Each structure stands twice: as C-alpha cells, then as structure tokens.
Chains A and B, each alone.
Chain A
Amino acid sequence: MPRLSLPWSPSSRWSRIQIAGWILFAASAAVLLTRNLRQPPAPPPEAESRKSAPSQHSVGAWWFTGAPAPAGEPADLTGVWFGEPIADLSKAALPGQEMVLTPFGKQRYETVDHSKNPTGQCLPPGPVRIMLMMLPMMIVQRSDIVLFLSEYQRTYRMIYTDGRGHDPDVKDYPEWMGSSVGHWEKDTLVVDTVAINDRSWLDVWGHEHSDQLHLTERFRLVDPDTLEQLATFEDPVFFVKPFTIRKVMTRQIGDRILDSACLENEKDQKNLVPTFGAEGRGR
C-alpha cells in the first residue's frame, strides 16, 4: 500500500526541509506585507494639488527678534507687518479727529476722475497709500535710518533718524514718497514727512492732497507683535483742520516679501473710461 505523503507529515528528512522552507517563505511574505501596509499613502504629486503648500518658515526667521525693548526705550520695529487695508482714509480717523474737506477739497473729491488713479498707471503710491495697501511691508531698522520696504511695487520709504533735518531745497523737488526724517520719543518713532508730490492720492477712494501736505506719524509697538501707526495730516488746501488716522499692523511670521512688478501684466489702462467722484467708489 503506497504511503500517503503530505507536506505536513514530517515522515522524511526531505519533507521536513520542505516545511521549513514554506514557513520561511510565509514569514518573509508576512513581514513584507505588513511593512507595506504600515507605510502612509503617498501624497498626491505637486501638479495635482490646486492649493499651494504652506510656507515652511516658523518663529525664528531672521526678521523676528522676539525681544521686547525695555520700557521707554526705542523699540525694534524690524519685521514683516500687515494690517487691514484702508480704502477710505476718512473712515480711519480717530473720534474727534475727523477729516473735514475745504470747499476746494470737496469739489476735487466730488469730481476726481478714477480712471486717472496714479497707481492704476503703476505710478508710486506715495507715503500714505503705501501704508494702506493689501500687501505686507518689511521694516528694517538701524540707529541712523529706518527703512519701510513695501511689497507693493517693491517701493520703499527712507526715514533718517540720525538727527538731520529736511534738506533746504526738498520742497522745490517734491518726491513721490516725500522727504522723511524721524526721531525717537521714548518707545515711539516719530516721522515727519514733507515735499510729497501732489500727484499721489491719499487713498483708493480718491482723496487728494496739495504739495503743502505735512504728515506726522507715530509708530509704536503695542506688544511685540502689534505695530500701531497714528498719522496726522495737515494740508490747508484740502483740509479745514488737521486730522489723525490710526492703523494697526500685525507681525507676519513666516511670510516673505513676494514679487510685485506692476507693469508686468498691466491690462486695465486700455479699458478705463472716465468715471467721476462717487460713481467711482464701490459699485
């Protein structure tokens, strides 16, 4: 009678080797399978993702010092800052500090042509609008100068804090960004700006100014991550009395200044039609 030979019956030396082989095979297969199962699913390729990956920077980026200055000492404003954009300067005025237009100022505001908006032509925003934009700004501070480097058109303001005054001829040669000098009053940077080219607008709503505009700004860290700007406007041609606006900016940690070349893809100019006063604001 022939013997029934089964692999699990260790009746011979040969079948014992076979069984050992099967066990080794099964064990390696199990290890390989479980290892593959434990691997997380592969992320979708970059091209498939419609949203961009978040920035990899974190606290500790070079512009973040994180060290508050002693009370009453000049603060370090160095950092990337951003605050809610302001479309209508008069809405940002402090209580009791409202903007009151002169008859001439009112007439200009009611007839301003929005198709002539200077930034629509990629001209510089001026020292006021640069602060109201929807784009962040980097401040780099030294003891003798403070630089406001805006992402908007990569424009900048230079504020000399080395004790100098305005050059005597600045008003004869007005600048798009004006002439700025500053000094520290305890923890507050006080900036004085004159000689501002009267072609710039003060806001997107079409408030204008004359070449007599005198801007006084006070910058202060409310806390290490909050920058407060109080800006006082004096311009007897356009405004009955000085008025002051407030803007608050928040430290942008992990953001960077992006490219912003206004003429690169400018296509609005050819479509603009003359649009005056209130008609050009809102819809």
Chain B
Amino acid sequence: MSRFSLAVFAALGWFPISPLLAHHSFTAEYDSKKPINFSGSVTRVEWMNPHIYFYVEVKRPDKMTANFAVEGGSPNVLRRMRWGKNSIRVGDVLAVKGFLAKNGSNTVNAITILLPDGTSLFAGSSYYESK
C-alpha cells in the first residue's frame, strides 16, 4: 500500500449514512452490516448502464493482492453531476468506501470514492433509482 493510500485510509472516517441513501435492491444485494474501506489501483473501468463498474487491486500487508468489483451509480446520473468516463482511469490509486455484497463475493457498492487529485466522487449507487 502506497504512502498516499495509507494517508487516504487514515483520513477517511465513517459517518452516519443518511436515511436518504436508500435503494430498492441495496439490501437484496448488499449488506449494510459489512462496511468496507480500502484503497488500491484501478485495473479496469466500465462506464456503462445500468451501473458503472471499476475494478480495484488492493495490495495487502502479506504481499498478496485482493481484487474488488466496485459498483457505482448510473453513468447517466453521474454524467449530469459532471462526472465522465475520464473521472476514473486505469492506474489511478483511489480510496473506496462502500458495502460488501451479501453473497460473499468481492463485490462492493461504493458510497464515496476519493480520487487521486483529492476530490470525492459520490458514487450515487444507492440513492438513485437507476434500474
């Protein structure tokens, strides 16, 4: 884990999730009791409907790596918030806050994403009814 991601890791604290952040399929797919907070480098980006996905490789202290599939909001909703297909790029080291899937897979619903330039991208996945 790079110095940058460690700093990001330390800087991010948990805040209470607003009741507005509710989604129809959220609890059918994700577990609100399994919050996850990690940073790593982006290996792939899928800027597509109905949800954007990007894939993050996280280096662990034991030199092993873990790979996460991270679900974000609808590209159309994100586009109207002025985010675009260049907002997340392969090779970016970024921090993700989200929730793990119930089925035990390494799938994460992202609540916020901290980009390398310090800006925060609200993934919007759980709030907006995009599908």
Classify the interface of chain A: helix, strand, loop or mixed. loop
Please tell me which one of the listed residues A52, A134, A267, A272 contacts residue B130 in the complex, with CB atoms under 8 A apart.
A134
A236 interface hit (Cβ, 8 Å): no
B53 x A85 contact (CB < 8 A): no
B27 x A265 contact (CB < 8 A): no
A273 x B82 contact (CB < 8 A): no
Task: For B24, list chain A residues within 8 Å (CB).
Answer: 87, 114, 117, 120, 204-206, 280-281
Closest to A267 in B: B53
Instruction: Looking at the assembled complex, report how far the CB atom of A206 sits from the nearest CB atom of chain B, in whole angstroms.
Output: 7
- The CA-CA distance from A53 to B53 in the complex, in Å, is 22
- The CA-CA distance from A275 to B18 in the complex, in Å, is 21
Closest to B131 in A: A119
Task: For B86, list chain A residues within 8 Å (CB).
Answer: 46-47, 49-50, 52
Count residues of B near A (Cβ-Cβ below 8 Å).
44
Stretch at the interface among A57-65, A208-216, A220-228, A253-261: A253-261
B46 x A265 contact (CB < 8 A): yes
- The CA-CA distance from A205 to B27 in the complex, in Å, is 12
Please tell me which one of the listed residues A47, A52, A114, A261 contacts residue B49 in the complex, with CB atoms under 8 A apart.
A261
Closest to B115 in A: A50
A185 interface hit (Cβ, 8 Å): no
A272 x B28 contact (CB < 8 A): yes
A271 x B82 contact (CB < 8 A): no
Residues 77-131 of B contacting A (Cβ, < 8 Å): 77, 79-80, 82-84, 86-87, 101-103, 105, 107, 115, 117, 119, 128-131
Interface residues, chain B, CB within 8 Å of chain A? 17, 19, 21-29, 32, 46, 48-53, 69, 71, 74-77, 79-80, 82-84, 86-87, 101-103, 105, 107, 115, 117, 119, 128-131
A-B contact pairs, 9 of them (CB 8 A): A114-B27, A134-B130, A255-B80, A262-B131, A267-B53, A267-B107, A271-B107, A273-B103, A283-B26
Interface residues, chain A, CB within 8 Å of chain B? 46-47, 49-52, 54, 85, 87, 114-115, 117, 119-120, 122, 132-135, 151, 204-206, 255, 258-262, 264-268, 271-275, 279-283
Q: A50-B119, A134-B74, A268-B50 are in contact. List 17 more A-B contacts (CB 8 A).
A: A51-B87, A52-B83, A54-B82, A135-B77, A204-B24, A258-B79, A260-B76, A262-B50, A262-B131, A265-B50, A266-B50, A267-B69, A273-B102, A275-B28, A280-B28, A281-B22, A282-B26
